[in-house]
Structure 1
Amino acid sequence: MYQEAKQRLRGSIAPIVTPFDATMNVDTKALQNLIEWHIESGSHGISVTGTTGEPSSLTIEERELVMETAIKTAAGRVPVVPGTGSTNHAETLHLTKRAQEMGADAAMVIVPYYNRPNQQALYTHFKIVADSVDIPIIIYNIPGRTATNLDVKTLTRLAEDCKNIIGVKESNKDFEHVNRVLLNCGRDFLLYSGIELLCYPMLAIGGAGHVSATANIVPREVADIYNYWAAGEVEKAIDLHYKLMPLNDVLFKDTNPGPLKTAMGMMGKINPALRLPMGPPSEELQKEIWQTLNQYGLLDQEAGMSK
């Protein structure tokens, strides 16, 4: 069961934004349209209610609504991996169980943020969550957001003790750390990059793919980084890696998903609304985003990087 999942859960798992309508409610129709666009554009999988999906701005009921909408819309055409983690252990358990009930292909569970638990507490938290379900679990390590780094030793213990913990999304700029993940957890452990500029480098060391916010802007190109690598067309993958760098840079000049939603609004994809305490980028950055999208030819066409 988990070996099959390890084969299917590879490539670009696009972390989709949560669109809001004019009344600041979750816009399920816009979400459905985004998912269809991603599938048509070649994204290998879909993730919702992760960092890019503003989960801390959603109620539990809204998170369930977004997960259910994604799973029903994808309808088995691509894997759906919702983010089910929270700073609250009971909420994490609830959402992970709900993801399984809804038919999710896996659950992505973030290291609890703000609490700053020690390594033993992290081990206990993830083990209880993993033991509560049968679906695959992908741990999400993003120390820049959580203020806590999941040690490789802790992750290795979890991979050994919980057969359904099959991978980790590392939004970790410490490239030595991510190398040691595969050394200690095994080369068949799924390692995903959550750092845009490390999507290609992680493939080179044996990574399974990436969960890149930039896929919300150019899903085909982000998927093609993996496609070229998997096909042995290394130079094409490297060329695309560098071609995307200016776009990656501008999308992270303010806290994600602020610049990202602004860009998607300029492309006509969504209403770019953010819920407080998040807010839009400065006017100066918005101009830079517009200029960058224009350089990529994204303002007058729905997708792609050339007119």
Structure 2
Amino acid sequence: MVTPFTDDNQVDHDTLARLIDWQIAEGSHAISVTGTTGEPSSLSLAERRAVMETAIRTAAGRVPVVPATGSTNIDETVYLTKEAEKLGADAVLVIVPYYNRPSQQGLFQYFTTVARTVNLPVVVYNIPGRTATNIEPQTLKRIRQHADNVIGIKESNRDFEQVTRVLSLLGRDFLVYSGIESLCFPMLAVGGAGHISATANLLPKAVADLYNLTAKGRWEEARELHYRLFPLNDVLFIETNPGPLKAAMAMTGQIRPHLRLPLVVPSDEHQAKIHEVLQSYGLLQPGRLG
């Protein structure tokens, strides 16, 4: 989920709570906050904790809440991960440390150290396009062998072959979630467990249905939905996420169009394209999103 901001650039907890209620009503299977789409590197530790608290309190056990607790600083990661456990999170999402560009041994030590500090399930978040480092499947297997509460990975590596390698090495019961919108359906086809989706901020029911249809064996319908979602998935990454998404959500009346620097709203040209795509989905109709 996005982190909405007020006009004076503070976290808008009222809007966040409203969005969470809407997500649950629309059929989202779980809530994840302070991931990439939630601008975690632009939030203070206190703000990240407060967002987690709002999400867990608002969800109130109706669906699992899986906050992202990773950072490039292991002490911060451990602190946020422990706080998530205290607040009642159901699992945590921990990103591969960014900027540092650690070795595979460094990643092994980092994730096993973090995982051992809590009893929560831990989902590794691999997004090489943001972190400049890919966690290799063999490294993930080592981590799993030494920390059995590491139960899955959000895979945002565009090398789709990696998904098959992970499931082959770690077993088909290891939970692999797609972090790339256009790969959500293909990942389900090779044994993925689901997806953690930015597009779900706009179309939660459709994104949830993509999983629901495959779970029922209705693959042809899921394939058609995959292609129906593609234009929206594509335009929401026309610039760095979550800029286009927040612009789209502002156009639909869900949030104010605010990001924290260095992120800014998309160019006028790109906003016009976003508006065009939203219109084609009927998302600009008054009252469409409640």
Match of 1:103 in 2: 88
Match of 1:184 in 2: 169
Which of 89, 96, 111 is the matching residue for 2:74? Answer: 89
Asked if 2 retains the 8 angstrom alpha-carbon contact of 1:218 and 1:303, the reply is: no
Asked if 2 retains the 8 angstrom alpha-carbon contact of 1:113 and 1:148, the reply is: yes
Distance 2:277 2:85 in 1: 40
Match of 1:209 in 2: 194
CA change 1:289–1:135 in 2 (3 A) is: same
Q: Aligned-pair distance for 1:303? A: 5.1
Distance 2:163 2:222 in 1: 20
Which of 160, 173, 180 is the matching residue for 1:195? Answer: 180
Q: Aligned-pair distance for 1:271? A: 0.6
Asked if 2 retains the 8 angstrom alpha-carbon contact of 1:32 and 1:70, the reply is: yes
Partner AA of 2:78 in structure 1: L
Q: Which runs of 4+ in 1 moved over 4 A?
A: 301-304
Q: Higher relative contact order at CA 8 Å, sep ≥6: structure 1 or structure 2?
A: 1
Match of 1:48 in 2: 33
Match of 2:237 in 1: 252
Does residue 1:75 correspond to 2:60, yes or no?
yes
SS in 2 for 1:47: coil
Distance 1:139 1:51 in 2: 13
Match of 1:164 in 2: 149
Per-residue deviation, residues 81-132 of structure 1 (Å, max 9, x unmatched): 0000001010000000000000000000000000000010110010010000
* Aligned-pair Cα RMSD in Å: 0.8
User: What are the ranges of 5 or more consecutive residues in structure 1 without an aligned counterpart?
Assistant: 1-15
User: What are the ranges of 5 or more consecutive residues in structure 2 without an aligned counterpart?
Assistant: none
Match of 1:126 in 2: 111
Partner AA of 1:152 in structure 2: P
Match of 2:42 in 1: 57
Match of 1:27 in 2: 12
Match of 1:236 in 2: 221
Q: Aligned-pair distance for 1:248? A: 0.6
Per-residue deviation, residues 169-223 of structure 1 (Å, max 9, x unmatched): 0011101111100000110000000000100000001100001100011000000
Partner AA of 1:216 in structure 2: N
Which of 1, 17, 24 is the matching residue for 1:39? Answer: 24
When the two structures are superposed, what TM-score results if normalisation uses the length of structure 1? 0.93
Distance 1:303 1:143 in 2: 36
Partner AA of 1:131 in structure 2: R
Distance 1:176 1:274 in 2: 34
Q: Aligned-pair distance for 1:162? A: 0.9
| Percent of matched pairs sharing the same residue | 62
SS in 1 for 2:31: strand
Match of 1:289 in 2: 274
Match of 2:249 in 1: 264
